[in-house]
Amino acid sequence: MKRERMKKALFPVGIMLLAVAVFVMIVLDLTKEQFKQSTKSTVAMGTVVTEKLYGKKTYESVFDDIEKTITELENEISWRISGSAVDTLNKSGAVVCSDRLKNALSLCGEVYASSGGAFDVTVGKVTSLWKIDEEDAAVPDEKALKKALSFVDGGKLKINGSAATIAEGQFVDLGSVGKGLACDEIRKTLEEKDIYGAVVSVGGSVLLYGKNPTSDSWSVAVRDPRGDSSSYMGTLSLKSGVVSTSGDYERVLTVGDRKYHHILDPKTGYPADSGLISVTVVCDSGILSDALSTAAFVKGLKGGAELLESFGAEGVFIDKDKKVYVTDGLSDKFTLNGDGYELAEASE
Ligand code: ADP
Ligand code: MG
């Protein structure tokens, strides 16, 4: 008799639990339904820009806003664009900076100092001598290279209030940080929109924004530096931040059987030969990740790892023997899946 009563009492509870479960399932299904993906690929800043946006609707107009953001930035920081702030600085030795440019140049100064000059945006006289990304690229003659090198000195790029100045004959090239800085600017643009999550890659820099609607993190492929442009050697699983990669495959001048890449050692004026073929850096700031990937590439494994640590950044280094070194903060976030690559421990 007692048991019968208990059964009766439990019956409504069971119904209620079932109703709650069905409700939760419906809500989850609806949320899944609500997320739409908008994708676009375009060319800007001399590179491929790929945008994937997730949210409740499609975001065609946001693509235009992102492209506007990149164009505005390029018009300010590209030395190739006549009348840009960097062009004015290069031509007249001084320029009044926006806050954005001032902060960017200050950050470049910090990385210059911390890297012992391995990263130096005043390397412009030398990069424009090699012209590695242009049709008339050529190995410069020794005399011209020596002359160009005499103007490379990041310590002479000064910021005073909002004015930036360089020494006579110096030339600033922000090619090493443009794509990472673009990621920071795109993040600001996305913050003004009702967007749930986004992945935007500007050349070798990838911005991870908001949340991935189908997983608790984003998956970022690390390019195989010895494969074709679509092959990768590993995957990073990350919640947010910017991932920048510098590699010796990106822009190359081939003379006979010699290859010259575009990341120069400001001490020699020749392509850096530190034993590394690719460096990937992960941190919150896009410009910092881009500056550090270039700097670490020039410094090599040991100096590069120390540099990243001093800025609280994490990274994946690949050397000429296809050995892969992953900093502690990424050890459970990196999966190796490339042919011939091998995880290794950095020795002291
Ligand atoms: P990518 O432009 O392929 O993303 P990086 O971010 O590593 O590659 O930047 C390389 C560019 O930076 C070069 O094309 C050149 O304009 C500039 N650069 C080359 N060597 C240095 C250096 N040691 N320090 C600062 N900038 C550099
Ligand atoms: Mg860079």
Considering every ligand atom, which ligand is closest to the CA of 119? Answer: 1
pLDDT at 66: 96
pLDDT at 100: 98
Which are the contacts of 240, defined by CB distance < 8 A and separation ≥ 6? Answer: 208, 209, 210, 218, 284
Tokens representing 55 are: 């949210």
pLDDT at 346: 76
Q: Rounded to 10 degrees, what is the CA torsion of 210, 290, 105, 82? A: -100
pLDDT at 339: 84
pLDDT at 12: 73
pLDDT at 136: 85
Region for 229 from its dihedrals, namely left if φ exceeds 0, alpha if ψ lies in -120 to 50, beta otherwise:
alpha
- Identify residues whose C-beta is under 5 A from ligand 2, the ion: 176, 246, 290, 293-294
Any ligand 1 atom below 6 A from CB of 294: yes
pLDDT at 30: 46
Please give the distance, rounded to the nearest whole angstrom, from the Cα atom of residue 251 to the centre of ligand 1: 10
Q: Which atom of ligand 1 is nearest to the CA of 297?
A: 7
Q: What 8-state DSSP symbol labels residue 121?
A: G
Does residue 7 sit in helix, strand or coil? helix
Any ligand 1 atom below 6 A from CB of 280: no
Q: Which atom of ligand 1 is nearest to the CA of 251?
A: 3
This prediction has a pTM of 0.90
Any ligand 1 atom below 6 A from CB of 121: yes
Rounded to a whole number of angstroms, the CA Rg of the chain reads: 25
pLDDT at 274: 97
pLDDT at 348: 57
What are the mean pLDDT values of the chain's consecutive 10-residue runs (348 residues total)? Answer: 62 72 57 78 94 88 95 97 98 98 98 98 96 85 96 98 98 98 98 94 97 96 93 97 95 87 96 97 98 98 98 98 98 93 84
Please give the distance, rounded to the nearest whole angstrom, from the Cα atom of residue 293 to the centre of ligand 1: 9
Any ligand 1 atom below 6 A from CB of 173: yes
Tokens representing 148 are: 């160009």
Tokens representing 153 are: 């000195």
